[in-house]
Structure 1
């Protein structure tokens, strides 16, 4: 394939799974000989959460107060200002990974500044606000080609929209996510006041989709048998407002007598720098990830690559790419089952089995292979652009 110049659009420069996916995908595309440039609105002017081995463009973005609708509308308009001229649109194709970028590209298509775009659907949110739901729907329906990171969401698109979506999967960088300990492990343990443990890690902050409340309930049960156990709630950078759900989780922690803070039973880290994540996985005894809705669950592969036993929901997408021997599967609605799996993962024989199986599973998912699965869709959209130029 002729080398392509690809504009990849994501919603944020912060450490979220979709943003991490875009950076790693672009890096892999560059190793395949293409120029993939990741764009994201950057209201803080701080750039992306990690250095990347691919071109990046932090898009000038306005500060926003008010509702989520106000925020999303502003971010769409930030993109429209950035791509307002033909010169700014000088790419062979455009690839959006969320509703913000997808809506901006749909508008650019109607303005005849671009011929079309590719859209990856990581997952579909259920919005109570009609305008957010409308924007999400438009960003999917107006795409020339659709991609998904898991089969379950590709099937949803086929069933609900009558449209085909190709499955491209996900990857993990084994040169970054390694299970050999480093000096960073001890530094991070001291920073957050982590003791002998066991340490339970959940990733994604206090968010309903991540089932943090269920994890809190399970952790409270685990503490009856492991009174020194600590729960680390990592991440939480999001465009959506999760304050009510976070307050519910914090109230549950208080009701169980679980203090929050460095060295306490529960540590809320907020967004974690990329360089710290491998160490955080390694010092955790278990990754608890019994989420309700995921596109793929990238942190599962990252944890496995670092030798961390993992608990996941017995439902797609986890049942698509994991075997029963790779992780401990639970009903996300059952805190007792989650607590039981936390305890089981601490047993020496189970832990050894999960660590070995997880390393093998992670090694089977490379970003290079993921990038290669994008090329047919890219080629089709690039041909459309060339045809529009010569029409």
Structure 2
């Protein structure tokens, strides 16, 4: 879908740090935590929470009382008069939420939409499904996070096997994956320079983490937690996770906890809300794609090509690219097919480095894409990422710095 009326105010976005699962955020209710981060960000940016016409909530891991979805979250953050849907499209959740918000602007339904994406992969729910036809009436059980990581009910394989399938089909070696993983680790170091200058452009920090009572501070998180420095020597020593495979634990991401949000509004309202009147951010297009069963990463190329085509540009016209990278295989394949170089994408890091909370992963990548384009003086940007079910979603945006 192409967009003409959807804009993002410069600075109209924010993210919590991302923490590796079972880390400092592992006990926090993801929706309540997202509301706290939104409230803090809106206060710091001097934005009234009642400016929003609609809220779109993206999350993939149920939490207690998440039945009440976006209306509850809106009330928690001081916007009790608005409502909106809950979107869960696996790792493509963020892109779909942004697309839906942009569509609301195109249709004239709303003028200022808040997209909030959040998830906690830690301590995922253990779900019991009643089955009166079971032996003795015994029901079925599911570990929401762990079981779905390890088995696609259609392809009947784990996520990591899809990466191995792609590596085998297109000829991606362990050495190529190791090289990309080291590069992404080094790119993230640029985000930490000058006392985390890049991250401070959008990340709410520090975050005081309280106990279950909500009174006692038990930790203070100053930035992403769980990131490890990757070296060529270290990766060379790691064996593939699967027998006869190529993907090691060092060339795949890890589950994480966190949230990220952004505002989608009209051109005029974006200008009003932006602290930098010379910067304009326009959403241009959205596309999604699906590939053959069990080859998830193959879907990223058709999604990217479709989004670029809808926007009326070529990949050569793109100044910056950010990808959700659950496996280094993804970036190796993307570059081979799209004619790009690994070093020309994912500057300042990506989900391969700072983890994958699922729902908010793409939102943070889109935010980082915007900030990189501003540093470059403007241009087109492409976000692309695969998702469960052998699918992908891509977003094209444009930044003008006047």
Shared fold per TM-score greater than 0.5 = no
Higher share of residues assigned strand: 2
Shorter chain as denominator, the TM-score bin is: under 0.3
Higher share of residues assigned helix: 1
Normalising by the residue count of structure 1, what TM-score does the alignment of the two structures yield?
A: 0.27
